[in-house]
Structure 1
Amino acid sequence: MIKGVANVWVPVEDVDRALDFYENTLGCSVVKRDGAWAEVKAGELNIGLNGREERGAGVEGGPVITFEPEGGIEETRRDLESRGVRFDADVSEHEWGKVATFKDSEGNDLQLYEPPSS
């Protein structure tokens, strides 16, 4: 059985650029760096930043990581926008919560998620 998420691996083109984004823009802490591999910590989640291989999986697409905003979703969105993050759409509201989608420095989809208030 699955207990939870141990790691999420994200394919990246440039590990240095990705580390800069995850550490300095999103505020994650760097856990490890080894060549074309790095790990950052976002709360209790380890995210592996894995250099894309020339062939095979990871040429297009990749995982979507959903982050819980520290403040409200709108406040966090404004903060990220002030750091140069571009959101291509407004915050979408659903009966299961609110979502704001953006991309990291490598073109991977990321989201902010806020559960419903009641």
Structure 2
Amino acid sequence: MSEPNHQDCMTHSAEEIKHICTNFHKAIEFIGKRWMGTVIYTLMEGPKRYHEIISSIPGISDRLLTERLRDLENEGLIVKNVITTSPKKVEYELTPTGKELDEVIHVLMKWVKKRGESL
């Protein structure tokens, strides 16, 4: 299946465009929540326990990290794996859908680095 081009977009009805714009806006708002992109970026390296995530994101609070992990889990972008050892361990891992954000996150990181301090 080929990537849509500008001409393809011209053939969409106003209703289709509205639907696409609404979904795009929701996706940007979700990823744009405070610390969300950083949490996703941290999990790109592989499964992590809570303390590993919080220690790799300076400035994020326990409450906010817990909220972001819950948001990601509710959207099906991460899974919470409970390892039944003594004591039990919990790891967070990106799902295949969550891993699809890899290119998006890395392109954004590249763009941010290129712009430097100008944001």
Tell me if both proteins adopt one fold, taking TM over 0.5 as the criterion: no
**Higher-helix-fraction structure:** 2
**Of the two, which has the highest radius of gyration?**
2
**Higher-strand-fraction structure:** 1
Normalised TM-score (structure 1): 0.26
